């Protein structure tokens, strides 16, 4: 009986952890304000600025095709899929540059 109770508690905890974020993807939409070697500053659509780290694992996409880090430019519109801690870019979709 004790083993069954422990199993149920562990299962309930694991299920709760898996759904802690409601299965939502962390996305950031905005325009690249500053571009640095390992991070970028994005002005989000609501006006706030966010720093996002770029890692060697960060993927890039432009026009629905794989892209390179060098395709990312200041002024480009971006859609960034963030890691669960909202600090690292998992995937950066690069759009057209905004008019200045």
Arithmetic mean of pLDDT, 32-53: 94
Q: Do the Cβ atoms of 89 and 54 come closer than 8 Å? A: yes
Domain ranges for the chain, please list them. Answer: 24-97
pLDDT at 86: 86
What pLDDT, on the 0 to 100 scale, is given for residue 20? 47
| Tally of CB atoms within 10 A around 72 | 19
- Prediction pTM value: 0.72
pLDDT at 53 over 60: yes
Q: Tell me what pLDDT residue 8 has.
A: 52
Indicate the class that CATH gives domain 24-97: mainly beta
pLDDT of residue 97: 74
pLDDT (mean) for 18-35: 74
């Amino acid at each position: 009986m004790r083993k069954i109770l422990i199993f149920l508690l562990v299962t309930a905890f694991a299920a709760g952890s898996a759904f802690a974020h409601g299965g939502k993807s962390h996305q950031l939409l905005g325009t690249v304000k500053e571009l640095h070697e390992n991070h970028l500053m994005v002005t989000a659509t609501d006006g706030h600025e966010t720093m996002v780290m770029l890692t060697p694992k960060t993927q890039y996409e432009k026009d629905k095709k794989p892209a390179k880090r060098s395709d990312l430019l200041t002024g480009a519109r971006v859609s960034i899929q963030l890691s669960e801690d909202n600090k690292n870019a998992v995937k950066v979709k690069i759009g057209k540059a905004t008019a200045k």
